[in-house]
Amino acid sequence: MIENIFEAVADALYAEFGNEYKIYSDPTAQGTDEPCFFVLLLNSTFRRIMDNIYRMSNQICIQYLPSDKVDPKTEFRNVIERLMTTVDDITVDGITVHGTDIHNENTDEVLNFFVNYDLNVKRERVPAEKMKDITITQTVKGE
């Protein structure tokens, strides 16, 4: 499921920004063409809600490396505005998943854009082996 979320985020970025921006899943210091995005999983939780229904929460960080190294602030503002609408809703396995807790932090060189994707997951149960026959013998006191 996590890989499907990654693919959905990358697809949404590609749909919005096109071929001009490379999208990577692994931050490396070498071999990147800027401007580019890195899609990273920061945190993932999986907790039972009831029976076989679980709540899966995934905190994603989208890092953006600008092409303008002298004054990246203007470029950051333009990208932030586009990212807000791009990652608000993504489609994972045909289901729309809404982004929550969307916020960003930027340094002089990198824009960090955070979004959480929370969804309910139903795990298939493994059927337990049914009990065959049982014979109970009982005596009552005094008989």
Range of the domain at 82: 2-122
Q: Is residue 57 part of a domain?
A: yes
Q: Is residue 137 part of a domain?
A: no
- Residue 127: asked if its preceding bond is cis (omega within 30°), the reply is no
CATH code of residue 110: 3.30.2000.10
Concatenated DSSP letters of 61-114 = EEEEE-S-SS-HHHHHHHHHHHHHHHTTEEEETTEEEEEEEEEEEE-SS-EEEE
pLDDT along the chain (143 residues), means of 10: 89 93 77 87 91 92 89 89 94 92 89 94 79 79 71
Neighbours of 27 (CB within 10 A): 14
Q: Is residue 86 part of a domain?
A: yes
Q: Is residue 133 part of a domain?
A: no
Q: Is residue 32 part of a domain?
A: yes
Q: What is the pLDDT of residue 113?
A: 96
Q: Is residue 51 part of a domain?
A: yes
Q: Is residue 117 part of a domain?
A: yes
Estimate to the nearest angstrom the gap between the alpha carbon of 69 and the chain centroid: 29
Q: How many domains does the chain have?
A: 1
Q: What is the pLDDT of residue 29?
A: 57
